[in-house]
C-alpha cells in the first residue's frame, strides 16, 4: 500500500553517521528521511533519563546538520506515519485506513 505506492524500501537500524554509533529505527537513506520511535513506555526507558534524552538530542541535531528529516513517534501516535510520510514526500495522502505493511515495518523497527 503506502510503501508500494511511494516505492519505498526502508532500512532498519540504519547507522547514519559513522564512526558515531547513532542509528535510526528506520531510514530511507536515498531520501534522507528517518523514522524514530521514542520508547517512553517503561520507567527504565533510556529515553526518560537525563543522559538518554541528552544523547537523543545530540543524535537528532547531528542528523539535522547532515540534512536528514526525522519523523518521531511514540506508542500513542506511531500510526500517523501513514499520513505524515506521503506529505513529506509531496505525495497524495492515502485514505484514512490502516496501512498494514508500513505499520508492520514500524513495529519491526521499533520492536512494538
Query: Could you give the 3-state DSSP secondary structure of residue 71?
Result: strand
Which domain does 97 fall in, by range?
2-110
Q: What percent of the chain has pLDDT over 70?
A: 76
pLDDT at 88: 93
pLDDT tens-digit map of 58-102: 999 999 999 999 999 988 898 899 889 999 999 887 776 556 666
Task: Give the range among 6-15, 23-32, 61-70, 101-110 with minimum mean pLDDT.
Answer: 101-110
CA angle 5/10/11 to nearest 5° reads 170
Q: Is pLDDT of 112 > 60?
A: no
Q: What is the CATH number of the domain that holds 9?
A: 3.40.960.10
Strand partners, 34: 27, 70
Task: Report strand pairing: 11-15 vs 33-37.
Answer: unpaired
Cα dihedral across residues 70, 105, 79, 83: positive or negative: positive
The residue to which cell 519523523 is assigned:
71
Domains held by the chain: number: 1
Amino acid at each position: 500500500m503506502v510503501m508500494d505506492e511511494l516505492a519505498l524500501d526502508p532500512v532498519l537500524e540504519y547507522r547514519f553517521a559513522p564512526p558515531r554509533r547513532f542509528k535510526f529505527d528506520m531510514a530511507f537513506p536515498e531520501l534522507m528521511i528517518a523514522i524514530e520511535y521514542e520508547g517512553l513506555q517503561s520507567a527504565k526507558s533510556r529515553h526518560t533519563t537525563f543522559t538518554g534524552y541528552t544523547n537523543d538530542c545530540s543524535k537528532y541535531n547531528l542528523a539535522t546538520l547532515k540534512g536528514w528529516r526525522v519523523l518521531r513517534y511514540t506508542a500513542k501516535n506511531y500510526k500517523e506515519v501513514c499520513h505524515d510520510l506521503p506529505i513529506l514526500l509531496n505525495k497524495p495522502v492515502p485514505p484514512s485506513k490502516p496501512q498494514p505493511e508500513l505499520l508492520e515495518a514500524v513495529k519491526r523497527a521499533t520492536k512494538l
